[in-house]
Structure 1
Amino acid sequence: MLDIVLLLKIGIVSPSPTHPGVGRDAPGELLGRSPTGQGGQSPRNVSIDGRDISSRRLSSSLPMTPRNEGEILDSTNLKSFGFNDLRVSTRNFRPDSVLGEGGFGCVFKGWIDEHTFKATKPGTGMVIAVKRLNQEGFQGHKEWLTEINYLGQLYHPNLVKLIGYCLEDEHRLLVYEFMPRGSLENHLFRRTSHFQPLSWNLRMKVALGAAKGLAYLHSPEAKVIYRDFKSSNILLDTNYNAKLSDFGLAKDGPIDGKSHVSTRIMGTYGYAAPEYMATGHLTARSDVYSFGVVLLEMLTGRRVLDKNRPRGEQNLIEWARPYLASKRRVLRVMDARIEGQYTPSSALRAATLAIKCIAVEPRYRPNMNEVVKALEQIQDTGSFKIEETAQKHRRTFAEDSGRKAASYPRPSASPFMT
């Protein structure tokens, strides 16, 4: 089986820098500020032939059911917005309303009445994040529909809420709840006063929330493979509750006794499981691998791929793996910004979990219910500190929020964060 390290060495793709001042995933970060290039370079979205599609992600196909646009739109309880209402709510899509941008469009901050859903004056009513799809390309429309199909029917505390959509003439927009803390990616890698480094307890809280969201998607109730789990697609609300966003690449799980779903290889390089990159065979364990990568980013404070680091340290998995199995050595890779906030045993348990999740052989990876249980056990030892730390961060956030508006990461290719 082709290991992800080999994929790097044979040069299928290399990371590309983010747009200055803008995060990678505006849709994934509906609520957050975008990262700068200071923290390294974000991985690109790639297809099986290695072409860079970071500015245009293509979903391999729409979910099996419902099959057509009319069925998808009719099967949801989403609000159908008029284009003019969304134009007014975002102040005519003014540049200073932009939360993030990417190849599929921009995400704008807007305000609507929470009862009538009509546009209101800035600062009044309910805050929303509006993703406006670029008026080009059929594949963008397919992802737009995929997002509606899943988020229009799946409900969970750890999934971002899709409020509605606009389909009017050539206009395609999605309306989400606003996530004031932005993306996990920004908090881990953006070096500004607006984004304070997350404490150990908050990182474990975010990891647990994101794990619960994935566990729900993999459950018999949903049977969905997320396919694009990464730090920029994890959004945080005011209380640092994690919510998964950007479902443009999601797929229905295997049915009729099949072990996997065969798809065109899509997603974000560095986070994608090696067996999926090699074969196009997608399973729930592919998401588990991606979760392990993000957990490793949270433990180390490093991007999975970072060309700005010395040779030998640019690939996080390659660099960190030798240290992760030893209680003494694991401390060498931990983020220095959270030093002293955890016990060596807690760090080792979290690192051990990450190792299991990124196992090259899928059968050796835990399922997401097991991951949730392991994270709950890690959190139990310091759970009393989490709310205390969150309150401290909320005070800092409240002081800064008047000066700077949160921005969103560049949309990877999904409607949610762009």
Structure 2
Amino acid sequence: MLILELLRLNFGCACVCSAEMVKKGINPCSFSRYLNRTPILKGPVIFSPKIAPKTLQSALAKDNHLLGSSPNGKYYKTVLDNGLTVAVKRLTPFESNSPETKKKSVKRQIQKELELLAGLRHRNLMSLRAYVREPDTFLLVYDYVSTGNLADVMNRVRENELQLNWEVRLKIAVGVVKGLQYLHNCVPQVLHNNLKLTNVMLDAEFEPKLADYGLAKLLPNLDRGTSSPPECFHSCRYTDKSDIFSFGMILGVLLSGKDPTDPFFGEPASMGSMGGWLRHLQQQGDAKEALDKSILGEEGEEDEMLMAVRIAAACLSDMPAERPSSDDLVLMLTQLNSF
């Protein structure tokens, strides 16, 4: 009886409140949505005990070292007062001519996505440690990794400034696909949506960490470059199998050492793409021709590489359904040495 009475009281109160709001010209449903929507937070939002808001704000106010830039924003390296080095991504500013209401809607959407991404933790992901909202953009704070991105590392390999043997390259491939597997198995599923060489960061031990995952819907100037799967040019429908295509491109680069933007891939001999080239060589029985000469060595390793060529070719299939899943890839790549 007591419970029923309380329910009656609460219902009666709600009815009175709604009636009063209607009298004042306020839509109760709109008011409810207003109360439940994400507030726009000011100041740094911190997800790491190693970072203090004032320390972060102080560091961001200084001139920081530019690490790189893209149409989506710029990366900086900054050192906090406690000695911690972090990487900061300043997203491309919102359109200045957008209505204020639209800007607020975009900010709320970005905040909700960032709160979700901040909860993701895996050794092969660049963990979001904090973010700062500015009037026209967001600053995202990540752990700093010293070796740089995979594109820069492979450029150094091609310039003979760095040796990268097959064991290390396989380690990188396995780490990348394990990061993808974690994202794809999240509930709700998280798609990287912008996987490419420049978004694979490497620490001092060449352990890969995926950057920019899950940010695609927040970035108006997304540029996937040569890693863009063919379905994105037709239907614009991006799925987990689209991520797999992008991984196939990374694996192809690790195996061949070739720059995916090399004019070679525009020539008939390459069949017009990395995937076409790998499939052609495989069908001709010449898969060894795809391998970077600097990693050819022991016969056992060569067998692993040839199997990896087959895996890369499968990932680069034009048909999404024919590509393996991230679960399949983790199993295949971690067991390569058993072939």
TM-score by length of 2: 0.72
**Residues 311 and 242 of structure 1, relative CA distance in 2, 3 Å threshold:** same
What is the one-letter code of the residue matched to 1:93? D
- RMSD, matched Cα: 3.6
For residue 298 of structure 1, report the CA deviation from its aligned partner. Answer: 1.0
Structure 2 equivalent of residue 268 of structure 1: 224
For residue 129 of structure 1, report the CA deviation from its aligned partner. Answer: 1.1
- Runs of 4 or more consecutive aligned structure 1 residues displaced over 4 Å after TM superposition: 66-69, 71-76, 138-147, 168-171, 191-195, 264-267
What is the one-letter code of the residue matched to 1:107? Y
Asked if 1:85 is matched to 2:58, the reply is: yes
Q: Residue 98 of structure 1 contacts residue 108 of structure 1 at CA under 8 Å; is this kept in 2?
A: yes
Q: Residue 105 of structure 1 contacts residue 134 of structure 1 at CA under 8 Å; is this kept in 2?
A: yes
For residue 157 of structure 1, report the CA deviation from its aligned partner. Answer: 1.2
**Residues 74 and 175 of structure 1, relative CA distance in 2, 3 Å threshold:** closer
Asked if 1:110 is matched to 2:67, the reply is: no
Q: Residue 346 of structure 1 contacts residue 378 of structure 1 at CA under 8 Å; is this kept in 2?
A: yes
For residue 243 of structure 1, report the CA deviation from its aligned partner. Answer: 1.0
Asked if 1:164 is matched to 2:164, the reply is: no
Structure 2 equivalent of residue 305 of structure 1: 261
**Residues matched between the structures, number:** 289
SS at 1:324's partner residue?
helix
For residue 134 of structure 1, report the CA deviation from its aligned partner. Answer: 4.9
Structure 2 equivalent of residue 336 of structure 1: 293
For residue 203 of structure 1, report the CA deviation from its aligned partner. Answer: 0.6
What is the one-letter code of the residue matched to 2:296? E
Pick which of 348-357 and 141-150 moved more. 141-150
For residue 250 of structure 1, report the CA deviation from its aligned partner. Answer: 4.3
Asked if 1:129 is matched to 2:92, the reply is: no
1:289, 1:299 → 2: CA distance?
A: 15
Structure 1 equivalent of residue 28 of structure 2: none
What is the one-letter code of the residue matched to 1:162? L
What is the one-letter code of the residue matched to 1:199? N
In the TM superposition, 1:7-46 aligns within 5 A as none
2:231, 2:73 → 1: CA distance?
A: 31
Structure 1 equivalent of residue 19 of structure 2: none
Structure 2 equivalent of residue 369 of structure 1: 327
What is the one-letter code of the residue matched to 2:261? L
Larger radius of gyration between Structure 1 and Structure 2: 2
1:223, 1:100 → 2: CA distance?
A: 29
**Residues 105 and 361 of structure 1, relative CA distance in 2, 3 Å threshold:** closer
1:285, 1:175 → 2: CA distance?
A: 29
Provide Cα deviations, 1:262-284, integer angstroms capped at 9, x if missing partner.
Answer: xx995513212222321122221
Structure 2 equivalent of residue 173 of structure 1: 139
SS at 2:179's partner residue?
helix
1:176, 1:74 → 2: CA distance?
A: 13
Larger RCO, structure (CA 8 Å, separation 6 or more): 1
Q: Residue 128 of structure 1 contacts residue 177 of structure 1 at CA under 8 Å; is this kept in 2?
A: yes
For residue 71 of structure 1, report the CA deviation from its aligned partner. Answer: 8.5
SS at 1:155's partner residue?
coil
**Which of the numbers 250, 258, 280 marks the counterpart of 1:322?**
280
2:233, 2:38 → 1: CA distance?
A: 29
Structure 2 equivalent of residue 99 of structure 1: 67
Q: Residue 146 of structure 2 contacts residue 204 of structure 2 at CA under 8 Å; is this kept in 1?
A: yes
**Which of the numbers 149, 152, 156 marks the counterpart of 2:118?**
152
Structure 2 equivalent of residue 283 of structure 1: 239
Q: Which runs of 5+ in 1 are unaligned?
A: 1-65, 113-118, 252-263, 382-418
2:313, 2:221 → 1: CA distance?
A: 24
1:74, 1:168 → 2: CA distance?
A: 10
For residue 321 of structure 1, report the CA deviation from its aligned partner. Answer: 2.4
Q: Residue 166 of structure 2 contacts residue 295 of structure 2 at CA under 8 Å; is this kept in 1?
A: yes
**Residues 202 and 74 of structure 1, relative CA distance in 2, 3 Å threshold:** same
**Residues 333 and 357 of structure 1, relative CA distance in 2, 3 Å threshold:** same
Q: Residue 81 of structure 1 contacts residue 165 of structure 1 at CA under 8 Å; is this kept in 2?
A: no
Provide Cα deviations, 1:279-301, integer angstroms capped at 9, x if missing partner.
Answer: 12222111111111111111111
Structure 1 equivalent of residue 4 of structure 2: none
**Which of the numbers 190, 201, 206 marks the counterpart of 2:172?**
206
**Which of the numbers 186, 192, 215 marks the counterpart of 1:226?**
192
What is the one-letter code of the residue matched to 1:101? S
SS at 1:206's partner residue?
helix
Pick which of 134-143 and 364-373 moved more. 134-143
What is the one-letter code of the residue matched to 1:200? W
SS at 2:263's partner residue?
coil
Provide Cα deviations, 1:184-224, integer angstroms capped at 9, x if missing partner.
Answer: 11111235889513210001001001101101111154511
Structure 1 equivalent of residue 15 of structure 2: none
1:186, 1:295 → 2: CA distance?
A: 15
Q: Residue 184 of structure 1 contacts residue 235 of structure 1 at CA under 8 Å; is this kept in 2?
A: yes
Q: Which runs of 5+ in 2 are unaligned?
A: 1-35
Structure 2 equivalent of residue 353 of structure 1: 311
Write 1 or 2 for the structure with the bigger share of helix.
2
Q: Residue 229 of structure 1 contacts residue 271 of structure 1 at CA under 8 Å; is this kept in 2?
A: yes
In the TM superposition, 1:374-389 aligns within 5 A as 374-379=332-337
